Amino acid sequence: MQPAAEHQSVLLEEAVTALNIRPDGIYVDGTYGRGGHSARILALLGEQGRLLAIDKDPEAVRSARQRFGSDGRFRIWQGSFACLDQALAECRWPVKVDGLLLDLGVSSPQLDDPQRGFSFMRDGELDMRMNPDEGESAAAWLATASEAEIADVLWRYGEERFSRKIARAIAAFRQEKPIERTAQLAQVVAQAVPGREPGKHPATRSFQAIRIHVNRELDDVEACLEYAVGSLTSGGRLVVISFHSLEDRIVKQYLRQQSSPPRLPKGLPLTTDQLAVHPALRLVGRAVRPGATETGLNPRARSAIMRVAEKC
């Protein structure tokens, strides 16, 4: 496990500022990672404040308990932020919170540990599960998925234009031997992709797509957002940091829908109650991206984008 000090939380100051922390408020860090955002939130909370952190990864949960386990204001819950209602219920906390932070995607400690199988940069077991104790590993899925299903996942979640060629190459390779290592998969993909995109490994999109599929990442984002409005108090803030276009598209569309007045049929008589319906959320500022200083220190922050909304 990578030391917490080496993990750099993206948009740390911007995200915590956007939460508009009240000392006695109740907040949720939906993706604990290695606790950068959680630590800053706790520093701003008073004795009556509360912070619930959530993470699928048992290593993250272990790190959280070691770092903040003695702080009575803090709780860590292992699972997906899609189950926010369950997490709050099990903690016996109020169902309404003053702020919800989602820092989506994979964390640096997960990427940097070759045994987790997230990265093509170092050889390791092809796992990719955020919780290695649940679900199907990437290797197990690649061993049984049809060529058409693999191509669909690569196209849908990786926007990989050579998805069919790569799926065909994977299907041919596994007839000889199973794909069980990250280096194997990276090599198969690289050989199947014609040409090279400057500054990007040819397996980048494929690894992203398989990881998203294995962990049901986009499904979890959609499920959490559907619950988000109901979980916030009036004036509560929703802060979401995305790292690729698929995540951000879901977040952007949801916030636009929830911050727009309801569409009512033209020409039909409306009651006073119908006319008084207001949007559930109010957008706060414009989308925020990391500055040059942050991306210089942490190149992985380059693709990040943060969106903020407030409960009306």
Residue with the two structure tokens 């860590």: 76
Determine which helix (DSSP H) or strand (DSSP E) holds 8, and give its type and residue range.
none
Answer yes or no: is pLDDT of 147 > 80.
Answer: yes
**Per-residue confidence (pLDDT) for residue 105, from 0 to 100:** 81
Rounded-to-integer distance, Cα 176 and Cα 189, Å: 16
Answer yes or no: is pLDDT of 187 > 70.
Answer: yes
Q: Which residues of the chain does CATH 3.40.50.150 include?
A: 4-103+217-311
Answer yes or no: is pLDDT of 262 > 70.
Answer: no
Answer yes or no: is pLDDT of 34 > 70.
Answer: yes
If one compares 121 and 7, the residue with the highest pLDDT of the two is 121
**Per-residue confidence (pLDDT) for residue 25, from 0 to 100:** 97
| Mean pLDDT along residues 250-274 | 74
**Per-residue confidence (pLDDT) for residue 270, from 0 to 100:** 55
**CATH tag for 4-103+217-311 (out of 3.30.230.70, 3.40.50.150, 3.40.50.300, 3.90.1150.10):** 3.40.50.150
Average model confidence (pLDDT) across the chain: 91
Report which listed range, 5-9, 261-265, 305-309, is most confident.
305-309
pTM of the model: 0.90
Answer yes or no: is pLDDT of 3 > 50.
Answer: no
Rounded-to-integer distance, Cα 214 and Cα 216, Å: 6
The verdict on domain 118-215 having CATH code 1.10.150.170 is: yes
Name the percent of the chain lying above pLDDT 70.
93
Cα diameter, the chain: 70
Pairing of strands 232-242, 305-311: antiparallel
Inter-axis angle of helices 58-68 and 36-44, to 10 degrees?
A: 30
Work out the end-to-end distance of the chain between its first and last CA atoms, rounded to an integer number of angstroms.
41
With contact defined as beta carbons under 8 Å apart, do 236 and 311 qualify? yes
Q: Which residues of the chain does CATH 1.10.150.170 include?
A: 118-215
If one compares 84 and 2, the residue with the highest pLDDT of the two is 84
**Per-residue confidence (pLDDT) for residue 93, from 0 to 100:** 81
Answer yes or no: is pLDDT of 38 > 50.
Answer: yes
Q: How confident is the model over 209-252, as pLDDT tens digits? A: 999 999 999 999 999 999 999 999 999 999 999 999 999 999 99
DSSP one-letter code for 121: S
Q: Which two tokens stand for residue 68?
A: 């903040």
Rounded-to-integer distance, Cα 77 and Cα 56, Å: 8
Inter-axis angle of helices 182-192 and 163-176, to 10 degrees?
A: 130
